[in-house]
Structure formats: C-alpha cells, structure tokens
Amino acid sequence: MAGSLMAGSLAAGSLAAGALLGCSQSEAGRAPDDVAVEPKPSAQGAPPTAPRSDPGQVAPVPNSAQPYSVKRAPPAESVRPESAVPLNVLLITVDTLRADHLSCYGYSRATSPCIDRLAAQGTLFERCIVQWPKTGPSMASMLSSTYGSTSGVMRETLKVKVPLHYDLLPEIVQRSGWNTLGVVSNISLSEKFQYDQGFDRYFVHPGASSRGDAVTDRAIELLEGREPQKNFFLWAHYLDPHAPYVPPKRHIEPFTSDAKWQAGAAPPLPVDPRVADPNAPAPEMNDLGMIPAYAYFPARYPWVKEKDQLRNYVAAYDGDIRYVDEQIGKLLDWMNERQLLTNTVIAFTADHGEGLGGHDYYFEHGRFPYDDCAHVPLIVVHPDWQPRRVAAPVALMDLAPTLLDLLGLKNGWQFEGQSLRTWLAAGAPAEAAAPVFTESGYTKEFDVAVRRGKWKLIKIGSQKTASLLTGKKYELYDVEADPGETKNLVDEESEIAEQLKEELDAFVDSAYAKTPPDPEGVELSAEEKAQMEALGYTGDG
Ligand SMILES: [Zn+2]
C-alpha cells in the first residue's frame, strides 16, 4: 500500500534547460531597487488576507541539464567498492520549508531551480515526515535518531538541551576521523542547547547575521579551512523561509503578479492586536485565526500594499524559498568548481514546514501534526547511484542511520530510525512500509500521528486542542486525495481507522509513559532571549 502513495502524482517531464542555468546567480549584483534581505527581526506593521493552504499543482521533474559533478564514475563502475575512499557529507537543512512549495515536489511556482537540479541527480523521497514539527525537537530527532518523547527534546523548546549522553550523528563521524563543521542560523540550535556536540568547528549566526548569504559564506570559509587530510562532514542550516518573510524585492515581485497570486484574493485576515498597540494584551491563540505580530510584514517593505492578505504572505514565503535556493546554489557551485562534490553524499532536508492558513494556522509550526508542518523535502545524492523517486513515507530520523550506513559506520546506541540505504540504491523495498510517527504540540498531552501509505491517523492529545480542530479525538485522512487534511474520514473509513488506532494507541501509551531527563533549563542572555522571541519562540515553545 505504501508503494502506491503519491505514485504518479508528479509527472515526469522537463523544465526548460535554461531554468536550470546559473540558478545561484552567485556573485551577480542585485538590481538597484533591490532591498537587502532583512535579517529575521521582530515584526511591526499593519494587516494581511486570504486563501487556505495551497495543495500545489503538478510540476515537471527537472532534467539534469548542467548537472553538478556529483557522479564520479561511469555507469560501468557504478558499484562502489568496499575499499573506496570514504565519502564526505554535505548536510543542508532549511528551516520552515514545506516540501509542497518546491518545484521538484510539484509546486506551481519556480521557487527552487537549484534544489531541483540537485533532485534530478539524487533520490527524492516524496513523503519525508518529521518527528516533531519545531526546530529544536526536529533537529534533535534528526541528529540523535530518536523521537522527542524519548530524548525529552520536546514541548518546551526554551528549556531543553540535547542530551549529552547520546551518540549524535556528528559525534560518531567525528570520532571516526571526519573533520566536522557546522553553521546554523537559528539560535535555538546554538551551543547553549547542545547542538554543537561532535563538531570541530561550529558557528551560530543569530539575529541580523542569520540570512542565507552569511550561512553560505561561512560554509565556504569552513570548507576552505578544513583539515585537508580528513574527509569532511558539513552541516549548513539556513533560516530564510522562517517568518517574518523578508525576501529581496526581486524574489517577491514575480509572485505578487502571477496566476496563483491573482487567484488568491480573499478577505483580509485579522491581525494580532499588538501590531497596532504593543501594550495590548496577547491573544490566547495568536497563531490561530490571525497574523501573529512577529510575522507581520515589517514596515520597511512598503511595496507590500495589502499587509493583511494571505496571498502576499505566501508570495513572500515563496520569495524567501527562492532566495535560499539561490544561496544553496551558490554553495553547491563553489563546491562543484573545486571538485568537492564528486566524493560527497549530499543530504537536503528541512526541520519542518509552515502553517499557511490550513486549519486556520498562520505562519507558525509545531502545534499540530498536519502535513503542512510535518512533511518536508528529503533529497539524498550519492555519487554512485542513479536518480530515483521514492513514494513510500520515511521518517526524518532515518537520515542519520542512512548516512552512517553509507559511511560504513555504526549507529548510535539510542537510534530509533532505520537506514534507507537499500532505498537509495534500488528504491523502496516492498517490506519497507514501516509506520512513521509524528509528535506535536506544547503540552504533556501532545498529539501523535501515524502514517501508513496514504492513510494518516491523528490522535489529538487534549480536549482543548480537539476543540480547536474537528472536536474529535481521532482524525483520519487520505493524504493522497486530500493533502490539506480537510475531510476527517474516521467514521466513514472505520475499518482502516480501527487498524491504525491500535498501532497509534500503543505508540501513544509508550510515548506518554517515557520519562525523559528533566529539563535542566537553559540560561539565555537578554539578547539571546530577544532573538528567540523575534522568531516567535515564547515561554511554552
Ligand atoms: Zn525551524
């Protein structure tokens, strides 16, 4: 059943070759009227509007015109001998990146020419599901290959550190001889939360230094200064699509006049009252049903005329994706020119997606386990293996065991994910339809979802949360037919719901019964706290 999921949903076709050329525009100057990408500050401003989440349209799979030099051997030698030189690893993660807003995942806008180019050379997992759709918990899950309920990195983002006694992916490769390099742009991944474990060099670019060009420049600097006698492992985490959405003008303008924008006219959205009056009381649910204050269009973006229109926020979000795509292209071009990709496994993914109005949830993530926040891209390029697409759901926590498997290294003792090596080499094996679970929410009664093939069952943890949604404790969706998860089929498809309930209830009972280490708390400076708050992090998550 899993094998058929999404199959055929992305028609193989071709992008114009020109669309793949010069995608990074690396050193090209900006247009004179371009406004520099604004760092992620706190928001100010006036109000936006409109439609619900976009289901995306079928888009072509790009050709591999102008491919990166990632394939190091002709087809006849395409099986990697055991004695081959160890591989480098380039791990790129993008904050807040919905899979369905990338062209290679079927989006109607050309947001991602560079990522598409990468996808054309690797394995694209059509349904990669995160284990907790919030930065810290998701990245802790990716690096430690554990669920949040296991590690304790969940619920209260500001209070929880990644456990020191875990074997994290970077620690394992570091002690196996790799030169480990990291640059992250979200302060919630800083050393204070212990995400720097296992890195020889680790840079955090918070606040004003968080934009994509700084990350790319730092990544290049790290590669230039790498230890030449060692293989490298580089993790670069970009923040740009995180709200507030502030792309260069040249990247938002194409999306504020196209057909999608034209079709997106809708009534204005309510705005957090603190936009107009900073002293107004905080709404109880300021990310539900309204534009949160921190995401409100900054005043210095005067060309955004209707600041309460959802379609303008979606255009800006897509513009941020186009910008980060350009920066990723710049890094890949730099590496490609220096032959650094020919012996390198490239993994590209995200920590979570973004609420763009689905379920009345705006410009945030982490509260619910719906696919707008739980479904992320996952593309893995291996120098020896042919490009393919995998339709069966996989978990982001499968990435660490996969990379270690490719490097010939053993998993950490606490790993809960599985290696996808055979999937990369030959596609998903028939028996691989293991369930994928996602946890979400901010309370001890967190929500949990299970995914099998096209079916997804959600167990809402609390009555309060259920009252914000369908009012039901369980929600069943056919995510193939209904990607926006709008029609709860729990009564209509009772047989399937019952089967999944058994599996989900057992997982929830186990997850709730776990006793992860008590949060030690994290001491943040006033500046660090302000930087966190500018990204929407509050005391509860
Ligand atoms: Zn994030």
Question: Which pLDDT score is estimated for 67?
Answer: 62
Cβ 113 vs Cβ 101: under 8 Å? no
Model confidence band, residue 431 (pLDDT cutoffs 50, 70, 90):
low
Question: Which pLDDT score is estimated for 23?
Answer: 53
More confident residue, 75 or 130: 130
More confident residue, 431 or 176: 176
Encoded amino acid at 184, one letter: V
- CA distance to 138, 211, 258, per residue, from 357 (Å): 22, 25, 20
Residue 104, pLDDT > 70, answer: yes
Of 142, 122, 180, nearest to 346 by C-alpha is: 122
Ligand 1 center–CA 540 separation, angstroms: 15
Residue 511, pLDDT > 90, answer: yes
Ligand 1 center–CA 291 separation, angstroms: 18
Question: Which pLDDT score is estimated for 460?
Answer: 96
Instruction: Give the tens place of pLDDT for each residue, 18-65.
Output: 222 345 554 333 333 344 445 554 333 222 222 222 323 323 333 334
Mean pLDDT, range 481-495, rounded to an integer: 97
Question: Which pLDDT score is estimated for 374?
Answer: 98
Which domains, from first to last, does the chain contain?
13-22+34-74+85-430+438-534 (3.40.720.10)
Instruction: Give the tens place of pLDDT for each residue, 406-426.
Output: 999 999 999 999 999 988 888
What distance in Å separates the CA atoms of residue 153 and residue 138, rounded to the nearest whole number? 9
Residue 225, pLDDT > 70, answer: yes
Ligand 1 center–CA 74 separation, angstroms: 39
Structural tokens at position 222:
């790290």
Ligand 1 center–CA 237 separation, angstroms: 10
What distance in Å separates the CA atoms of residue 1 and residue 431, rounded to the nearest whole number? 10
User: Picking from 74-78, 170-174, 256-260, 416-420, which range would have the lowest pLDDT averaged per residue?
Assistant: 74-78
Q: What is the dihedral of CA 98, 101, 104, 108, to 10 degrees?
A: 160
Mean pLDDT, range 332-359, rounded to an integer: 97
Catalogue the E-assigned strands of 144-230: 179-184, 201-204
Residue 284, pLDDT > 90, answer: no
Of 167, 219, 148, 162, nearest to 192 by C-alpha is: 162
Ligand 1 center–CA 229 separation, angstroms: 34
In whole numbers, what is the pLDDT of the chain averaged over residues? 84
Q: What is the dihedral of CA 368, 371, 374, 379, to 10 degrees?
A: -170
Ligand 1 center–CA 238 separation, angstroms: 9
What is the helix (H) or strand (E) element at residue 401, kind and residue range?
helix 399-407
Cβ 246 vs Cβ 320: under 8 Å? yes
Ligand 1 center–CA 509 separation, angstroms: 27
Question: Which pLDDT score is estimated for 8?
Answer: 28
What distance in Å separates the CA atoms of residue 501 and residue 491, rounded to the nearest whole number? 12
Question: Which pLDDT score is estimated for 217?
Answer: 98
Sign of the CA dihedral with 141 first, then 143, 146, and 149 last: negative
- Name 438's bridge partners: 449
Instruction: Give the tens place of pLDDT for each residue, 141-198.
Output: 999 999 999 999 986 656 788 999 999 999 999 999 999 999 999 999 999 999 999 9
Ligand 1 center–CA 87 separation, angstroms: 28
Residue 345, pLDDT > 70, answer: yes
- Measured from the Cβ of residue 189, the count of other Cβ atoms closer than 10 Å reads 28
Ligand 1 center–CA 495 separation, angstroms: 36
Ligand 1 center–CA 18 separation, angstroms: 32
Cβ-based burial of 430 (10 A; exposed 0-12, middle 13-18, buried ≥19): exposed
Ligand 1 center–CA 220 separation, angstroms: 23
Ligand 1 center–CA 79 separation, angstroms: 37
Ligand 1 center–CA 386 separation, angstroms: 31
What distance in Å separates the CA atoms of residue 35 and residue 32, rounded to the nearest whole number? 8
Sign of the CA dihedral with 201 first, then 204, 205, and 210 last: positive
Residue 3, pLDDT > 80, answer: no
DSSP string spanning 271-292?
B-GGGT-TTSPPPTTTTBSSB-
Residue reference for tokens 């100057």: 29
Categorise residue 97: left if φ over 0, alpha if ψ from -120 to 50, beta otherwise: beta
Ligand 1 center–CA 16 separation, angstroms: 32
Structural tokens at position 158:
């500001």
Distance linking the first and last C-alpha atoms of the chain: 36
What distance in Å separates the CA atoms of residue 439 and residue 133, rounded to the nearest whole number? 8
Question: Which pLDDT score is estimated for 537?
Answer: 76
Instruction: Give the tens place of pLDDT for each residue, 358-409.
Output: 999 999 999 999 999 999 999 999 998 899 999 999 999 999 999 999 999 9
Cβ contacts of 34 within 8 Å, gap of 6 or more: 248, 249, 250
Cβ 395 vs Cβ 131: under 8 Å? yes
Ligand 1 center–CA 77 separation, angstroms: 40
Mean pLDDT, range 218-229, rounded to an integer: 97
- Residue % of the chain over a pLDDT of 90: 67
Ligand 1 center–CA 352 separation, angstroms: 6
Give Dmax over CA atoms of the chain in angstroms.
69
Cβ 416 vs Cβ 146: under 8 Å? yes
Residue 80, pLDDT > 50, answer: no
Cis peptide preceding 244, ω within 30 of 0: yes
What distance in Å separates the CA atoms of residue 65 and residue 78, rounded to the nearest whole number? 20
User: Picking from 75-84, 201-210, 225-234, which range would have the lowest pLDDT averaged per residue?
Assistant: 75-84
Mean pLDDT, range 231-239, rounded to an integer: 98
Ligand 1 center–CA 368 separation, angstroms: 14
Sign of the CA dihedral with 375 first, then 377, 362, and 151 last: positive
With helix as H, strand as E and coil as C, how does 111-168 read? CCHHHHHHHCCCEEEEEEECCCCCHHHHHHHHHHCCCHHHHCCCCCHHHCCCCCCCCC
Catalogue the E-assigned strands of 21-98: 88-94
Cβ 399 vs Cβ 417: under 8 Å? yes
Ligand 1 center–CA 134 separation, angstroms: 5
What is the helix (H) or strand (E) element at residue 494, kind and residue range?
helix 494-513
Question: Which pLDDT score is estimated for 102?
Answer: 98
